[in-house]
Amino acid sequence: MDKRQPLIKGHTMLFREGVFPLSCDTVFLSDFVRARPGDRILDMGAGCGALSLLLLIRNQGIVVDGVELDAPAASLAQRNMEENGFSGRGRIWQGDYRDLPEQCLRLYDVCVSNPPYYEEGTGKMPACRSRAQSRGGGEDSLGELCRSAGRSLKTHGTLFLCYPAAKLERLMDVLRDCRFAVKRLRFVHHSPEKEAFLALLEARHDGGCGCRVCPPLFLKTDGQDTPECRRIYSGQEYWYDFL
Structural domain contains residue 243 = no
Structural domain contains residue 241 = no
Which is more confidently placed, 127 or 190?
190
Q: Identify the pLDDT of residue 129.
A: 47
Structural domain contains residue 215 = yes
- Give the integer Cα–Cα distance in Å for 133 and 48: 13
Q: What is the CATH number of the domain that holds 115?
A: 3.40.50.150
Using DSSP, state whether 144 is helix, strand or coil: helix
Per-residue pLDDT reduced to its tens digit, 66-104: 999 999 999 999 999 999 999 999 999 999 999 999 999
Q: What is the domain range of residue 111?
A: 2-234
Structural domain contains residue 187 = yes
- Give the integer Cα–Cα distance in Å for 46 and 58: 17
* Torsion angle (degrees, nearest 10) of CA 198, 43, 243, 88: -150
Q: What pTM was computed for the model?
A: 0.90
Contacts of 222 (CB under 8 A, 6+ apart): none
How far is the CA of 64 from the CAs of 24, 81, 114, 240, in angstroms?
20, 10, 15, 25
Q: How many domains does the chain have?
A: 1
Structural domain contains residue 239 = no
> Helices (H) and strands (E) in the chain — how many of each?
7, 13
Per-residue pLDDT reduced to its tens digit, 38-76: 999 999 999 999 999 999 999 999 999 999 999 999 999
Structural domain contains residue 98 = yes
How far is the CA of 105 from the CAs of 9, 52, 242, in angstroms?
33, 19, 32
Structural domain contains residue 242 = no
Instruction: Give the mean model confidence (pLDDT) for residues 167-186.
Output: 97
Structural domain contains residue 41 = yes
Contacts of 37 (CB under 8 A, 6+ apart): 59, 60, 61, 62
pLDDT band at 118 (very low <50, low <70, confident <90, very high): low
